[in-house]
Every structure is written in structure tokens, then in C-alpha cells.
Amino acid sequence: MTEFDFIQQYLHRQQQDNELVLGIGDDAAIVRPRSGYDLHFSTDMLVGGTHFFTDVAPEDLAHKVLAVNFSDMAAMGATPRWALLSVALPELKQDWLTAFCDALFALARRFGVTLIGGDTTKGNWVFNVTIIGETPRQHALRRDAAQLGDDIWVTGLLGLAAAALDVYLHKTSLPAAVFAQCEAKRLRPEPRVALGKELLSLAHAAQDISDGLAQDINHILKASNVGATINVDLIPSLPDLRLSDAFLPAQLYHWLLAGGDDYELVFTAAPSQREAIMAAANRATTSVTKIGTITAGRELQLINHAGNVIQLQHQGFDHFG
Amino acid sequence: MTEFDFIQQYLHRQQQDNELVLGIGDDAAIVRPRSGYDLHFSTDMLVGGTHFFTDVAPEDLAHKVLAVNFSDMAAMGATPRWALLSVALPELKQDWLTAFCDALFALARRFGVTLIGGDTTKGNWVFNVTIIGETPRQHALRRDAAQLGDDIWVTGLLGLAAAALDVYLHKTSLPAAVFAQCEAKRLRPEPRVALGKELLSLAHAAQDISDGLAQDINHILKASNVGATINVDLIPSLPDLRLSDAFLPAQLYHWLLAGGDDYELVFTAAPSQREAIMAAANRATTSVTKIGTITAGRELQLINHAGNVIQLQHQGFDHFG
């Protein structure tokens, strides 16, 4: 099978898209943007061995490749609309590709995203997605908008993906049922797009948690010239991780704060918005938890219920670490 | 140096851009598209060992990574405006990066393109660029617009990059001065953006020649449901390649028609536009040559001055060949 057969067979699928003038198959795709909307652009490269294991199921890989990009849109409050995918693979295996593309298009369809560009080449397991989303003009959840006294919230449960990875790497063990929950989170993160859109009118700053909460919230603090206090005992996770005697606090804190791969949102909002945020979370069927407060200190302070200060050994995932 | 230092130091440079609401540094960049314009999207992945040699000078690599994407915009008649760059490198070397980024931003600036997204990760020499360009609404040079009786034109000189590659691979030899011209073309293709814009109102179909003229024009023929006759003796190249007795016709034809990496444009236009096209080429300081005619045959026929039919052994570059 040649590159062109591949593109024809799998990527050239018709999708309903009112703004799409010309889809895949020319030197470029053409989009006619809606007036009154801003466009959001983000790109992510996933490399085999670093961001995923190359024996991953094609369905899981397809999900992750798109979902991590949708998560960037969610963090802006943007609705993902179009994606471009580049793939380097050592060989083109018919069955593998069918499973990969079916899962990719299923997720794209679920989020109303059209694939408008693709490049395939021989190489060693690299996937790159560029995602384009939209928000109503001048609305966006930016990192530089946190305000003194804001509540700090996170979505979903943190630390599951990192715990699953540690099991995979034989650094720890978990009961099978707990591991299954963690592994599902690691392999199939659910982008918080619906909540992101709701937060456009409610939150100040937002960011997705892909490299670990401690590192990622620091981007907000730096951009907004503020500090934060977070109570680590409030960070939502699986009770089986939280309450187990099997783990040292340092291990648990690593998962919750620095493990990475959570693809949840951390956002800040005025305390006056608490009820509205809970209602929005309900509409988006996404759990949210208040874990701290924006302070004047310009630093991130981690405390526990007892009021003790927590020190992290590593802040988060460094892509060249 | 960490990933974030890298982004800060090199990619976070301020550029003049009236449509840019928010540049690199958040989960996404924000662009406010101009009304009355369509946006064009394309993505290209370049893998070390396949698309470039990893001992290439960083300045040349930076040029090529961007230029091949600008060429896709030129082929649509679009003006490139924004680019996102993902990089996987085995290590971050200060000097190498400085040279790479300086050359990258110099070329971007020359074409008025803003870098609005970046991802850097550890991996084995992969560069992915997504390019976004614009045309006035409903204007574009599409592959499906060739018409019966159209002239077929190409820009610049073909076959130089393929000849240089064959020297590099010790498959052939060239006089030093000739090799230098060919190698410059291989390493620093000049995207035909200025001419592409001129052609918006003059040409019917267009496509860039990256995989070899014979293969690439076939995309136009297929999309437009037409055929073509091309006189291979009219294909512009270096006289030193054309006239040398050192090369077999098969080798020369391979370079001209199937070698790839030319990044010139092939386009079709009504014969009544010949003078206007020559004038536009002058304004864009880009040479153009008429090499054939669009026919009803649905096939590509290659002939020479003597009227003999030429058969190619390989149609062009297959990315999984």
C-alpha cells in the first residue's frame, strides 16, 4: 500500500462541516471562518517510547493523539473544529491502520471535528496533531487572567494516569480493579471541552494539566503575576489511591501533583461564581473540586489538612528531562 | 536546558501581526481572521534520514522545514500567515538551536509569517510544520480546476535537487560548480509565493512539485478528469544537466520528472493568458515555462521533440516506497 492509497482509503472521509470549503486532497484544505469568532491553534507531537508505548492498542493511541489536543482547546474554552494529523510509522499494516483510523474518526465525530490535513511518512512512531478551535470573539480562558482571591478548581480525578504508568514500569502495584480504572484514564483521557465552553463566562484563567498540576499551575501564576495555596488533601483522586496504606505520601503526592498525563483542567474563578460553576459542571457531567486560592505571594504553596507545608521532589514532566 | 527555557529563549519572539490576539505561551494561540478571506491549512512532517540528512546545517534545515510548507501555500495561491512547529530532537544543543531558530525566524519574517505554536520533545529528528495561509474569499488554485486545452506551465528549473541527491549518494558525479547550483536548490528551495498570488486571477489549476512532476501533475489530471501531453524536452533545467553527454536520457528524465524535492509549481491556464502570465512572472521575478497541454485523454503522455513517447521507470517519490 502506498501513501496515497492510505490517504484515499482512510483519511478522505466526508464529514459534515459548514465552514469547510475544500477538504483533504489538495495542497491545502480551505476553511471559511465564521465572522464573530476567534480561532485557537495548538500543536502536539507524540513520540513512541516517550509519550506512548509502541505496543499500545491502535484504538487507544488514536484516542490519545486527538484527545490531548482537544484538551488544549478545552483549556482555552474553545470548541475544537478542525485537525491536521501527521504520522510517521515504520510500516503500514492494514489491520492496525483500520483500527487506528476508525477510532480516530469516531472521536473526531463525537466532538464535531473535521480532519482537514494529513501527512504520512516512513519513520519511527511519531504522531503530530494540529488542532484549530473557535470561541466567540474576545472570549477565551487565558493563563494570564487569574485574580487575587480566586478559587482554584480542578476537574475530574488526578494522579490515575501516573499511578498506572508506575504499575506498567513495575515501580508499584495496584489491585486489578484499581489499576483498570487508572489505566483507562491513562489510555483514554476525556477532554473537558463541554466544561471549558461553560467556563468561558465563569472562570478567569485556565490551563490543562498534562505535565502535572504543580508545574502547570505555575504557568498561570507566572503569567498572571500571582501566587497560590493548594491543599493537597483536597486534590480529587481515587479513594483507593488516597486511602491505601500501601503508598508513601511522597508517592501519592508525586502522582497527584507531578505525574502528568491527567488532561484535566485547572482553573481559577471568583468565589462569587461557586454555585454557577457547580451548575455548569453538572450540565457538562464533569466533576469539579475546589483545591485552593490565588494569593499575592507569586509562589505555589502546597499544604495539607494539618497545615503543614509539602515539598515536592520533582515539579513535573520535563520533555527534555 | 529544559523545554520551557527553549521555548522562552527562541520561540517566544514578538512579531508584528495585526490578526494575532495571543501568541505562543498559552494552551493555544489566538488569531482573529480577517473578514472576506478564506484560510488554507496544510501540514508536513520531515523525518531525519528520509527527508533530510541529520548532519545537514541547521540553517539549511530550518529553511527547508518552512519553505516546503510555504510552497504548499504558493500552490493554492495563498499568502502564508501563521505556522506551528513541532520538533523532536535527540538533544538540545545551544549552538545548533540558535542557528536553526535564527534561520527559521529570518525566513518567516521575509514571508510575513508568525510562529504561533510550538512543541519540543525528545526524539529522533522529526520536524512538523502546520502552515496557515489566506486568500480572498472564493479564490484559490485548486487541483480540480484544469480545463481542456489549457497550457501546462512550470516555474523555475526542475531536476536540480534530485541530481544533487544522486551526487550525495555517489550515484553520479557533477562538475563542482554545477553541483553547487543543484545542492543550493536541494537545500534552500525558494517557495513561489509571490507568483502563486499573481496566478490566483490567471491560472486554473496548480500544484507544487515535491514528489516529481509526473506524479504531481497526475493529481491535477485525476482531480480535473483530464489528460495531459508534456514535451520532456521543454522541461526547464540547468543547461549543464540537459546538454551533458555524461548522463543517460533515463537518468535525466528521472531527475526532471520523478526525482522530487523541486518545490516548483506546475499550473494550467487558458492559452489566452500567456502574455499576462509572462508579465506576472516578471513581477514575481520567477521564471515560467510552458511545457505541455491539457488533453481529453485522462492520461499523462510524455513525448520528446522528435515526437517519441517516453516511458518512466518510476513515477515519483512514494513516502512508503
Of all residues in chain B, what percent carry a pLDDT higher than 90? 77
Amino acid in position B2: T
Question: Taking Cα atoms as reference points, which of A60, A217, A45, A197 lies closest to residue A133?
Answer: A197
CA distance B135 to A302: 51
CA distance B321 to B311: 20
Per-residue model confidence (pLDDT) at position A321: 44
Contact A45 B75 (CB under 8 A): no
User: What are A183's three cell numbers?
Assistant: 489505566
Tens digit of each residue's pLDDT (9 = 90 or more) over A266-280:
999 999 999 999 999
Tens digit of each residue's pLDDT (9 = 90 or more) over B144-166:
999 999 999 999 999 999 999 99
Of all residues in chain A, what percent carry a pLDDT higher than 90? 77
Distance of alpha carbon A141 from the chain centroid:
15
Per-residue model confidence (pLDDT) at position B244: 74
Mean pLDDT of the residues in chain A? 91
Query: How large is the average pLDDT for residues A135-141?
Result: 96
Q: Where are the domains of chain B?
A: 3-136, 143-303
Establish whether domains A3-136 and A143-303 are of one fold. no
DSSP A114-162: EEEEEEEEESSSEEEEEEEEEEETT---BGGG--TT-EEEEES--SHHH
Among B41, B82, B87, the residue with its CB nearest the CB of A28 is: B41
Per-residue model confidence (pLDDT) at position B321: 43
CA distance A106 to B145: 32
User: What are A315's three cell numbers?
Assistant: 515539579
Dihedral-angle region of residue B138 (phi above 0 means left; psi in -120 to 50 means alpha; beta otherwise): left
- Residue A126: closest CA among chain B residues belongs to which residue? B126
Per-residue model confidence (pLDDT) at position A317: 55
Residues contacting residue A35 through CB under 8 Å, at least 6 positions apart:
B35
Query: How large is the average pLDDT for residues B4-20?
Result: 69
Indicate whether B206 pLDDT > 80.
yes
Mapping DSSP to helix (H, G, I), strand (E, B) and coil, where does residue A31 land?
strand
* Best to test chain A binding among B11, B26, B71 (most A CBs inside 10 Å): B26
- Residue B90: closest CA among chain A residues belongs to which residue? A320
Residue corresponding to grid cell 486511602: A243
Query: How large is the average pLDDT for residues A86-104?
Result: 90
* Distances B305 to B214, B231, B309, B310 between C-alpha atoms, Å: 18, 7, 10, 11
Indicate whether B140 pLDDT > 60.
yes
Residues of B in contact with A131 (CB under 8 A): 28
Question: Contact A255/A235 with Cβ under 8 angstroms?
Answer: no
Residue corresponding to grid cell 487558458: B270
**Position B127 confidence tier, pLDDT thresholds 50, 70, 90:** very high
Closest CA–CA distance from residue B175 to any residue of chain A (Å): 33
Contact A45 B87 (CB under 8 A): yes
User: What are A32's three cell numbers?
Assistant: 471559511
Question: Contact A212/A256 with Cβ under 8 angstroms?
Answer: no
CA distance B64 to B46: 9
Is residue A286 marked as binding?
no
Residues of B in contact with A82 (CB under 8 A): 41
CATH number of B143-303: 3.90.650.10
Indicate whether A25 pLDDT > 90.
no
Per-residue model confidence (pLDDT) at position B2: 56
Given the candidates 3.40.50.1000, 2.40.170.20, 3.40.50.2000, 3.30.1330.10, the CATH classification of the domain at B3-136 is 3.30.1330.10
φ and ψ at B141, to 5 degrees?
Answer: -95, 100
User: What are A311's three cell numbers?
Assistant: 515539598
* Best to test chain B binding among A41, A46, A207, A217 (most B CBs inside 10 Å): A41
* Distances A226 to A295, B220, B222 between C-alpha atoms, Å: 6, 56, 58
Question: Taking Cα atoms as reference points, which of B244, B260, B233 lies closest to residue B177?
Answer: B244
